[in-house]
Homo-oligomer: A and B are copies of this chain.
Amino acid sequence: MTRLEPAVALVCGAGSLPYAIADAAVQRGRTVVLFAIKGWADPERVPRYRHHWVTLGKFGRWRALAREEGCRQVVLIGGLVRPALGDIGLDWRTLRILPRLARCYRGGDNRLLSGIAEILEQDGFEVVSAQELAPDILVPRGAVGGVPPRATDLADIDRGLAVLAALGPFDIGQAVVVCDGRVLGIEAAEGTDQLLGRIAALRADGRVATPRGRGVLIKAPKRGQDRRFDLPAIGPATLSGVIAAGLGGIAVLAEAAVMAEPQQLIRAADAAGVFVLGIEPTGAHPR
C-alpha cells in the first residue's frame, strides 16, 4: 500500500475539538500524530491516538519529533492560554525565536498564532487548517437541528454581526450576546464560556430581566483573521452555557465556524428548544 499523503502533526490544546478532528482525519485515510501540550490537552483522550506529550517552550524538541514522524503538515487546534513568557522553560531553538515570539505577544490571539505559523513555515512545515483536514466540522448554512430562529432573533443576529464587524480591526473576541436589540456582553480575553457565565449571573441577580428563551450568542471570525486557526468554535459546553444564560439560540457564520461533536450538540439543542444557525455570509462577513 502506498502512502499518498504525509502524516499530519496535530498540536492539541484544551477542549474536545482536537479529537473530533483527529477522528475525522483518520476516517479520511490520513495518518495523524498528536502533539499534546502538557497542562492543556486532555490526558484521558490523548493516549487513544499516536501521540507525544510536548511542553511549551521546547520548540526544538517538537520540531525534531515532528520530522522523525514524517509530519510535513501541522494543524494548531484547541484552547490555549498564553502563559507569561518568563514562566516557560525554553530550549535552545525556542530561545533563538524568542524575540519574534515576544513581538507576537503584543496584540491579540490572531497575531500570536499568525506569528507562530510563520515561524513553522520558515522551518519547512505547512500549516493547514482543521477544516481542511476535516471539512465535516464546518457549520453549514441554515438551521442546524430542528429549532428555527424567530424574526426578533434575526434582528439580534444582525446587530451582533455589526458589533463584531466594528471590532474586527482590534483582534479581540469573536463572540457577542444580544437580546432584544441590547448588547449584553462582548467577549475579549475571557472566552465564550465565561461570557455566557456572566450573562447567567446578570440574569440571576436581576440585571438582565428579559424572559428566558430570548437572546442570541453570535460568533464570527475576526475580519482579516488567518482562518487556518482559531476559527470560532461551538460544542457541548457552548450549548450548556447558552441554556444556563437563558438565551434562545446560537448563530455562527456558516462555513467559517467549527462544531465539535455535532450530533450530540444538535440532539441536545433540539431537546432544549435552542436554535443553532449557520448565518449566510455577507459583505461585512464574507466566506
Residues from chain B with a CB closer than 8 A to the CB of A177 are 188
On whether the beta carbons of A188 and B184 are closer than 8 Å, the reply is yes
Q: Does A209 contact B (CB under 8 A)?
A: yes
Cβ distance A231 to chain B, nearest Cβ, rounded Å: 20
Cβ distance A70 to chain B, nearest Cβ, rounded Å: 35
A148-176 interface (Cβ within 8 A of B)? 159, 162-163, 166-167, 169-173
On whether the beta carbons of A105 and B180 are closer than 8 Å, the reply is yes
On whether the beta carbons of B194 and A198 are closer than 8 Å, the reply is yes
Cβ distance A198 to chain B, nearest Cβ, rounded Å: 6
Residues from chain B with a CB closer than 8 A to the CB of A87 are 209
Residues from chain B with a CB closer than 8 A to the CB of A182 are 106-108, 189
Cβ distance A131 to chain B, nearest Cβ, rounded Å: 26
Residues from chain B with a CB closer than 8 A to the CB of A81 are 206-207
Residues from chain B with a CB closer than 8 A to the CB of A180 are 105-106
On whether the beta carbons of B194 and A189 are closer than 8 Å, the reply is no
Q: Does A183 contact B (CB under 8 A)?
A: yes
Residues from chain B with a CB closer than 8 A to the CB of A83 are 206, 209
C-alpha gap A87/B209 in the complex (Å): 9
A 206-250 to B, binary, CB cutoff 8 A, 1 in contact else 0: 111110000000000000000000000000000000000000000
28 contacts between A and B (CB under 8 A): A81-B207, A82-B207, A82-B209, A83-B206, A83-B209, A84-B210, A87-B209, A105-B180, A106-B181, A106-B182, A107-B181, A107-B182, A159-B170, A162-B169, A163-B167, A163-B170, A166-B169, A166-B170, A170-B183, A171-B183, A183-B188, A183-B189, A185-B189, A185-B190, A189-B202, A189-B207, A190-B202, A198-B198
